[in-house]
Structure 1
Amino acid sequence: MLLIQVLLSVFVFSCVSCATADFRNPIDSMETSIGISTETLIKTVTDMANKIKTLEAKVEKLERLEDKIAYLEETMMLKNEKIAKMERVVKALITEPCNNSESKDSTEPTDTSNSKDRHDVQLHTKDKHRGIRQIETVGFSTVLTNHLQHLGKKLVIKFNKILKNDGNGYDPNTGFFAAPLTGTYLFIYNFGHHSTGETWLELVKNGVAQNSAAVEGHFGGQNLQGGNAAIIHLNQGDRVWVETYLVSDVSLHAQTTTFSGVFLY
């Protein structure tokens, strides 16, 4: 704007000078005095005015961008405060159940008569107030301690010696393992064979065979070992067991015939 004012002042001054020199041709006198044509001067002034408008528009745009940046910074600060608050709440939810359990143990008398039963049944539990799930361990390991001979088809093997039974899922009276909780399990079964003939066993879930294993003896003093394993999904209450399969005269040797399972995830 200052440049425009200077140019206009020069123009006015030139016009006045020309008027005093020659009233009949002031334009020609002005052009002669400043050394440029009137059209060139007008074009220069117009171009300068347009450039100034462009610069003013860019300045206005930058000001708007600065306002947006300030708004985003304020919004980000508020979000960071909310995140920090949520982190504090989550931390409190995680530590509070542990603190409550410790205080409960310190104030309430211990009932040792039922402690084993409470620890045996280890399931997925849910905190009533917070909804936090805690995963407990379930697993069992069993052994057959007596020789079994001349077993027929589809007979459930009742492993009578329990080495481990976390969750009380295995029942030695039936030979069934009933899943205390829903999840993925690993099962392993092995069997010993000490006679001629064949021994076939299979792993069964709810009446449906999952896999099988077999050995075949050719003379009476031969010691053989067979078995298999499987990772399967169980819903709570599903049953798994080992039974005889295919042949009707099966022999199982004590101590080398086992059945185990464990909850994975």
Structure 2
Amino acid sequence: MAVLQMVLLLCAGSSLAEEFFSPTVNIIAELEKLKSMNERIQKLEETLAKVLNENEALKTTVQDSQNKLESFQKENEAKKVAFSAGLLESGTGNTGPISTAKILVYKKVFSNIGGAYDSNTGVFTAPMKGAYYFRFKGHSHGGTTMAVSLLKNGQTQCSLHAWKPASNGNASNGIVLTLETGDQISTRLWQNTWVYDDPASYTSFGGFLIFPL
């Protein structure tokens, strides 16, 4: 029995050896295939890494573009500055005559783009440095002088005037001013004068940013 087992083992080993060293199995060729496959895998890994890096760079570029767009939109919105207002919010009547000059507060706001005009104080505050245009109009009834000045930081820039008109008096004026951020514009009624207003808004004040500087 032992002899038979030994013979069988020898036969099996011989068969395996013949199969391994068979001319049909080209070990060198198979190794070359494995090497080529490894090289292709390595190239794929390098390509994938490159794509991932490019994707991250693209994300950064897109984010930068979005940030610049948002900044441009905010800057563009900040450049939109314009307002227009009538003196009386409702009703009819004269303002003045008074013994001391006073700032006119225009309550009937038609537009206030950018929110730079304050209808509680009658003062426009420049939100940015730039060239601005302002205009103001006044109306009065006969017998009493009408006079209004436009002020920049409390200093007279230009005025309108109607000296004791026989019936109705109308006047208007306008000016282009270079303002710094925070400069304030208002109109002031002279002492011992008056203005009239009604729902037609004969007495009004307005202005807008022409361009930033």
Q: Say whether the fold is shared (TM-score over 0.5).
A: yes
Q: For 1:198 and 1:234, how far apart are their aligned partners in 2?
A: 31
- Is the alpha carbon distance of 1:218 and 1:187 closer, same or farther for their aligned partners in structure 2, counting shifts above 3 Å? closer
Report which of the two has the higher share of helix: 1
Aligned twin of 2:124: 177
Does structure 1 residue 257 correspond to structure 2 residue 203?
yes
Partner AA of 1:259 in structure 2: F
Q: Deviations over 1:188-234 (max 9, x none)?
A: 00000113121111110001111111002343xx1121121000011
Q: Deviations over 1:128-181 (max 9, x none)?
A: xxxx95462100000012421323342000011100001111111111001111
- The Cα shift of 1:126 comes to 6.1
- Is the alpha carbon distance of 1:99 and 1:264 closer, same or farther for their aligned partners in structure 2, counting shifts above 3 Å? closer
Q: How many residues align?
A: 142
- 5 Å matches for 1:136-175? 136-145=79-88, 146-147=92-93, 148-175=95-122
Aligned twin of 1:208: 155
Moved over 2 A (4+): 95-101, 132-136, 151-154
Report which of the two has the higher share of strand: 2
Instruction: Tell which has more relative contact order, 1 or 2 (C-alpha 8 A, sep 6+).
Output: 2
Q: For 2:75 and 2:188, how far apart are their aligned partners in 1?
A: 35
Partner AA of 1:226 in structure 2: A
8 Å CA contact 1:178–1:239 kept in 2: the answer is yes
Q: Deviations over 1:70-116 (max 9, x none)?
A: xxxxxxxxxxxxxxxxxxxxxx89x9348966xxxxxxxxxxxxxxx
Q: For 2:140 and 2:210, how far apart are their aligned partners in 1?
A: 30
Partner AA of 2:169 in structure 1: L
Secondary structure of the structure 2 residue equivalent to 1:264: strand
Aligned twin of 1:237: 182
Aligned twin of 2:53: none
Match of 2:140 among 193, 215, 223: 193
Q: For 1:200 and 1:153, how far apart are their aligned partners in 2?
A: 13
**Structure 2: stretches of 5+ with no match in the other structure:** 1-60
8 Å CA contact 2:104–2:189 kept in 1: the answer is yes
Partner AA of 1:258 in structure 2: S
Query: TM-score normalized by structure 2?
Result: 0.60
Instruction: Output the aligned Cα RMSD.
Output: 2.6
